[in-house]
Amino acid sequence: MSQATSRPLSLPLRLERAAIRGFARLPQAVIARLGAGAPVNRDGERLAPEVAAALGVLNRIPGSDFSTKPLDVARHQIEDEALVFADTFPPFAVEEDLLIPSPHGAIPATRYRATAGASRGLVVYFHGGGWVLGSRVSTDSAVRFLALHAGVDVLSVDYRLAPEHPFPAAIEDGLAAWEYAVAQAPAWGLDPSRIVVAGDSAGGNISAVLALELRGREVEPCLQVLFFPVTDLSTKHPSYEEFSDGYFLTERQMDWYREHYLADPAHALDPRVSPLLADDLCGVAPAYIAVAGFDPLRDEGIAYARRLEEAGVPTELARTGDLIHAFINITGVSPSAYEATLRAAQAIKARLLTTPSGYHNAFRQGTR
C-alpha cells in the first residue's frame, strides 16, 4: 500500500465519513428536498442540492476555517477533509512510492495504475492547497479516479510547500517531476509523447505554468488539464466578490495562500505565478479547463481559456455551473462532481488515443 493511503482515520472521522456516505445513498428526491432553496448565481446556475445541503452543515461548524489555525493544524485538517469525502476504490495494480531527484532534494511521489494491463499514457499530477497545504494524501481519491477512468498511469507529486519554500519552489519541483517522468516513461512501458500535465487549483496553476515553460522543448505535454486553476494572483476577478464566503473556498483563504506563497507581493505579476499575464500563449499544449459555477476562481479560469483560444490553442472549457471549488475531491458523495470529473477523464483518454508518437512536435510547429 502506498504511503499516500496508509494513514488511518480517527474514530470521529470514521463516524463523519459514515454519515456522509449515508447521506449520499439517500434517494435523489430526498437530497433535493434537503437542498431546497439552493443558491442561484448571477448567471442563473443553481448549486447542486447535495452540495448545498453539505455546505449548510459545513458552514455551521465553528472553527472550520484553516486560515485561522497554525500551519501544521491546517495541513492536517485538509488531509482529514479529503479522507472524509474521498471516493473508494479497490486496490490498484501499481501503487509505487518514488523519490524524484532534484537539485533541491528528493521529491516524494506516487505512481498509480489501476489494472495490470497496458496504460494509454501518463498524467503528471499536482495537488491543490494554495501551494501551502495539500499532499498525495489529500489528492489520492482524485488521481485514482483519473487513473481508473482514463486508463492511464498517474504520477502524483508532493512538491515543496510555502511558506517554508515560497515561489518558485513549486515550479522548480514541477519541472523536475516532468523531466523525471519523461526519462522514466519507457521503463514504465509508456510513450514520452503521451504525457499530460494536470492539477487542481494551485496544482492547476503549476500545470499551466509548466505548459508555458516546456513550450518548444523536444518533449512537451500533449495536454494540460486544469481543474479550477489559479491563473492570476495579481488581481481579484468578479467571482471573488460573488463567492467571497460560504462556498468552501473563501476570499480570506485565497489572501492567506497568496501571503504564504509569495515572499515578494510583486511576484504576482510574474507569468510563472499568474500565467494569465503571459505576453504570448501561442504554441502551448492543448488545454482542458474545468471551472465551477460557485467558485472565487471561476472567472480567471474562464479568462485563461479565452486567452488560449485567442492564441490558437485547442481549448475545451468545461463549465459545471452547479458545483463548488475542489469538486474533484467529492466524487464519492456528489453525482454532479462524479460526472464532471468523468468528463475530464474522458477528455484525457480521447487526447491520448489521438496522440501518435512525436505528435507534440508536429502540433507545436503547426500552431505557431
Residues acting as catalytic residues: 201, 295, 325
* Residue 142 vs residues 81, 125, 150: alpha-carbon distances, Å: 13, 10, 12
* Distance between CA atoms of residues 206 and 176, nearest Å: 12
Contact call for residues 123 and 149 (beta carbons, < 8 A): no
Straight-line distance from the first to the last Cα atom of the chain, in angstroms, rounded to the nearest whole number: 45
Contact call for residues 24 and 51 (beta carbons, < 8 A): no
* Residue 365 vs residues 218, 285, 359, 361: alpha-carbon distances, Å: 12, 12, 10, 6
| Nine-digit cell string for 327 | 469538486
CB burial of 165-183 (b: ≥16 within 10 Å; e: otherwise) equals: bbbbbbbbbbbbbbbbbbe
**Is the CA virtual torsion 240, 207, 340, 154 positive or negative?**
negative
Per-residue DSSP letter, 270: S
Contact call for residues 187 and 98 (beta carbons, < 8 A): no
205's enclosing H/E stretch is: helix 202-213
